[in-house]
A and B are shown apart, each in its own frame.
Chain A
Amino acid sequence: MSGFDRSHRRLRWLMLAPALGFVGLMIIFPLLFTLHLSFTDAFGAVNAGKGYDGGQNYLDALGDGRRFWPAVWRTVYFTVGAVVIETILGLAIAMLLRKPFRGMRVVRSVLMVPLLATPVAIGILWLLILDPTNGIANHLLGALGVPPQEFLGSVSQSLPVLMLIDVWQWTPMMALLLLAGLSTLPEEPEEAARVDGATSWQRFRHVILPGLWTTLMTALVLRAVDALKTFDILYATKGPGGGSDFEVETLNVYAYGLTFDYQEYGLAAAVLVLFTLFIVGVVVLLRRRSREASA
């Protein structure tokens, strides 16, 4: 440790304290509160619980095959589906934009629009576009001879359609992240592979992709966390109930419904705790994979 470092030791904590203290304060009370609620039978109001119930809420949630487990699977299905498509498309777009060209500025501006636009406005906008009767989407499909689709009005199409909206919104972000990753790759290994006669696919598979791995995994972690927690767009398009057949009821939507529609605060808190643990698990798993791969 250099002298420079040592003299900074006190300072660095001083510099960190306000930010860390603020975030910690804002997060610790809610976490403890939720944990406490999850062990009570609070119903109707948060202070209406009659005491600790010994984990009954957790047993109820984990034993519930009607609402809880289907919500888990929908969350997994939505996240995996959306993130996989976004990664593949994002990678393709990043490769497409990799070599400089005229108009790059414009394209980059366009790519930022979906992720900077107001999510509530975007949700309502998609509702207008995908309206089965009055929407432009069916009108365009009709011109191509495709029969009208129900989109968000259909019990079976809703989740895939929402996945595609998520893909629209977040693929550009993925592309931008991967593009930034591509720009940091050294050119020599790729040039060497070219000289050795590797095809462009081989160069991509064996040179570019391994070099991009760290960026890819970081982007995956960030995107997966947000995708698991997706809410605004589900709320804006299907209302608070997760759809008539619970077709888009993910864990987040379920926890929202338990809290605000059913007022089952104890059960809701237990579901939120399980949900948080689930996200933490995914993050830990992805980070471990990424560390193993880069080691």
Chain B
Amino acid sequence: MSDIQLNRRAFGRLLAAGAGAAALSACGSRGTPGPDTPLRISAINHVWSQAVRQRLPEFEETIGRRVSMQLLTADQLASSYNVKLNASATDIDVMMVRALQEQLLFARNGWLADLTGLVEGDAAFDWADFQEAPRDRSITRGKVLSVPVVTERPALYYRKDLVSSPPATLDALREEAFRLTSRDLFGYVGRGQRSGAVTQWSSFLYSFGGDFTTADGGSGIGSPEAVAAYRFYGELLDRAGPPGATNMSLEQAMPIFAQGKAAFYIDADAIYSNFLDPTISTVREQVGFAPFPAGPAGSKPHNIPSWSVGINAFSLLRDDAWRFIQWISGPRMVTELQAAGIPGARASAWADPATLAAFPAELAESMRINAANGIGHDRPEVIQVGRARDIVGRPLVAGIIGQDVAPVAAEAHAEFADFLVRDNRQQEF
């Protein structure tokens, strides 16, 4: 009895608090922020963000406002957007997003401010200078919602001391990897985690002649080409890869190559600097860089904007947020960052030989070739990317743990087809 009474009283107080809160928010706390309010940037813990952070004082001086930049891992960043933006929070101004992962969903939720007028209205910003593929991905339903800052293609990292020249085809890669596998060396290392592996596998899929979806929007992962790509990737990691490959994403796979325990490794080109860092790598002298090897359908790597910057639709500092984007993704800064080894999305920067001089010559060449052959997505282009990656990734895992891929792929194909129908229904907004 007393319990119930107490609960009721507590509930009454809750309602009172709620009413008070509403009153508070109505008068003032959502008004204009003072000059002491920092510009808040949520970012991924990435070399790009670290480079930007070092340059912040310069920007703080121009806007006369402090900038607070929070660096998080990709999962933490996604969770924090979820929690905060669901509450229409104003404590994020600039947000780093993945155009191919969150943008469609955030657009549907109305969480990203429309930048169309801003990017097109500023001649000095030169929106047309951005490479076409990344620029396209920044536009949802005709509105520019983000500006790409980091682009990514796969690179084949190999050991120059073990092979005289890098394999040019996937078949040759497999043959060499199997040949080099021994007690002390893995022929190949790569991502094997269900969701994390999907983006890297996409280049294999395209090079085998498949895609995630068919031209009419149905599931493409049941096609013979897709099944062959599943089988190839699974077998490669199963027979030549390290134990525990299904628990490996970028963070686990990269150190294995860096410590000289694998002959080949395919992953994002943006991470090459790790292999040249003496505190991480023991293969600084031996590492070689090559374009993505050709499959039955040629060499078709992805070429995507991995990270972009957008503005929180609830931000109270939208002007300063835009000035930040202007500053950080303007022609001058992109060239400067690219010269520091961070591949951006501006054509002018790519055309500037000075920016390419920062990269090892072989890598710069492989980036150029991959960019030319590149396909603009590396995961299914849907609203619910997380679930889609989980479905598409299952047959990969089956292959890696040595199961027969065909029945698992057939099952995933059916599940993915259902998923696409449901996802499509959510697309009406």
CB of A121 closer than 8 Å to a CB of B: no
Whether the pair B401, A241 counts as a contact (CB closer than 8 A) is no
CB of A204 closer than 8 Å to a CB of B: no
Whether the pair A44, B82 counts as a contact (CB closer than 8 A) is no
CB of A240 closer than 8 Å to a CB of B: yes
CB of A153 closer than 8 Å to a CB of B: yes
Chain B residue at minimal CB-CB distance from A21: B10
Q: Nearest chain A CB to B196's CB is how many angstroms away?
A: 8
Whether the pair A132, B387 counts as a contact (CB closer than 8 A) is no
Contacts A24-B7, A24-B10 given; does A150 touch B244 at CB 8 Å: yes
Q: Nearest chain B CB to A63's CB is how many angstroms away?
A: 15
Taken together as a complex, chains A and B put the C-alpha atoms of A267 and B288 apart, in Å, by: 48
Whether the pair B192, A48 counts as a contact (CB closer than 8 A) is no
CB of A46 closer than 8 Å to a CB of B: yes
Taken together as a complex, chains A and B put the C-alpha atoms of A46 and B108 apart, in Å, by: 12
Whether the pair A44, B78 counts as a contact (CB closer than 8 A) is no
CB of A171 closer than 8 Å to a CB of B: no
Taken together as a complex, chains A and B put the C-alpha atoms of A29 and B10 apart, in Å, by: 10
Contacts A28-B14, A261-B78, A263-B82 given; does A241 touch B255 at CB 8 Å: no
Within 8 Å CB of B327, what residues of A? none
Taken together as a complex, chains A and B put the C-alpha atoms of A148 and B242 apart, in Å, by: 11
Contacts A134-B259, A244-B192 given; does A259 touch B243 at CB 8 Å: no
Within 8 Å CB of A263, what residues of B? 82, 105, 384, 386
Whether the pair A259, B82 counts as a contact (CB closer than 8 A) is yes
CB of B193 closer than 8 Å to a CB of A: yes
Taken together as a complex, chains A and B put the C-alpha atoms of A158 and B386 apart, in Å, by: 22
User: Which of B13, B255, B256, B393 interacts with A244 by CB under 8 Å?
Assistant: B393
Whether the pair B82, A154 counts as a contact (CB closer than 8 A) is no
Taken together as a complex, chains A and B put the C-alpha atoms of A245 and B14 apart, in Å, by: 43
Whether the pair A260, B79 counts as a contact (CB closer than 8 A) is yes
User: Which of B13, B82, B244 interacts with A152 by CB under 8 Å?
Assistant: B244
CB of B140 closer than 8 Å to a CB of A: no
CB of B109 closer than 8 Å to a CB of A: yes
- Mark B242-266 against chain A: 1 for CB-CB distance below 8 A, else 0: 1111111100100110010100000
Taken together as a complex, chains A and B put the C-alpha atoms of A264 and B259 apart, in Å, by: 41
Within 8 Å CB of B247, what residues of A? 152-154, 158, 238, 243-244
- Mark A226-242 against chain B: 1 for CB-CB distance below 8 A, else 0: 00000000000011110
User: Which of B17, B109, B245, B397 interacts with A44 by CB under 8 Å?
Assistant: B109
Whether the pair A134, B255 counts as a contact (CB closer than 8 A) is yes
Whether the pair B246, A244 counts as a contact (CB closer than 8 A) is yes
Chain B residue at minimal CB-CB distance from A247: B246
Interface residue range, chain B = 35 or more
Q: Nearest chain A CB to B271's CB is how many angstroms away?
A: 18
Prevailing SS type, chain B contact patch: helix
Within 8 Å CB of A29, what residues of B? 14, 18
Interface residue range, chain A = 35 or more
Whether the pair B242, A132 counts as a contact (CB closer than 8 A) is yes
Most chain B beta-carbon neighbours within 10 Å: one of A131, A153, A154, A257? A153
Interface residues of A in 236-291 (CB under 8 A from B): 238-241, 243-245, 257, 259-264
Taken together as a complex, chains A and B put the C-alpha atoms of A245 and B194 apart, in Å, by: 7
Contacts A45-B109, A244-B393 given; does A155 touch B386 at CB 8 Å: no
Taken together as a complex, chains A and B put the C-alpha atoms of A153 and B256 apart, in Å, by: 14
Within 8 Å CB of B392, what residues of A? none
Whether the pair B397, A245 counts as a contact (CB closer than 8 A) is yes
Within 8 Å CB of B400, what residues of A? 244
CB of B45 closer than 8 Å to a CB of A: no
Within 8 Å CB of B401, what residues of A? 155, 245
Within 8 Å CB of B386, what residues of A? 257, 261-263
Taken together as a complex, chains A and B put the C-alpha atoms of A44 and B382 apart, in Å, by: 12
Whether the pair A46, B397 counts as a contact (CB closer than 8 A) is no
Interface residues of B in 103-134 (CB under 8 A from A): 105, 108-109, 111
Within 8 Å CB of A148, what residues of B? 243
Taken together as a complex, chains A and B put the C-alpha atoms of A200 and B238 apart, in Å, by: 53
Taken together as a complex, chains A and B put the C-alpha atoms of A209 and B165 apart, in Å, by: 71
CB of B62 closer than 8 Å to a CB of A: no
CB of A183 closer than 8 Å to a CB of B: no
Within 8 Å CB of A261, what residues of B? 78, 386-387
CB of B279 closer than 8 Å to a CB of A: no
Q: Nearest chain B CB to A52's CB is how many angstroms away?
A: 19
User: Which of A132, A134, A239 interacts with B75 by CB under 8 Å?
Assistant: A239
Within 8 Å CB of A28, what residues of B? 7, 10-11, 14
Residues of chain B at the chain A interface (Cβ within 8 Å):
6-7, 9-11, 13-14, 17-18, 75, 78-79, 82, 85-86, 105, 108-109, 111, 192-196, 242-249, 252, 255-256, 259, 261, 383-384, 386-387, 390, 393-394, 397, 400-401, 426
23 A-B contacts (beta carbon < 8 Å): A20-B6, A24-B6, A44-B108, A46-B86, A47-B86, A131-B252, A132-B242, A132-B243, A132-B244, A133-B243, A149-B243, A153-B244, A238-B247, A240-B75, A241-B193, A241-B195, A243-B246, A244-B192, A245-B394, A245-B397, A262-B387, A263-B386, A264-B384
9 A-B pairs closest in CB distance:
A153-B244, A24-B10, A261-B386, A244-B246, A132-B244, A153-B247, A244-B194, A132-B243, A45-B109
Given A133-B244, A150-B243, A244-B397, 12 additional A-B pairs, CB 8 A: A25-B17, A29-B18, A131-B244, A132-B244, A150-B244, A155-B397, A239-B196, A239-B249, A243-B246, A244-B246, A261-B386, A261-B387
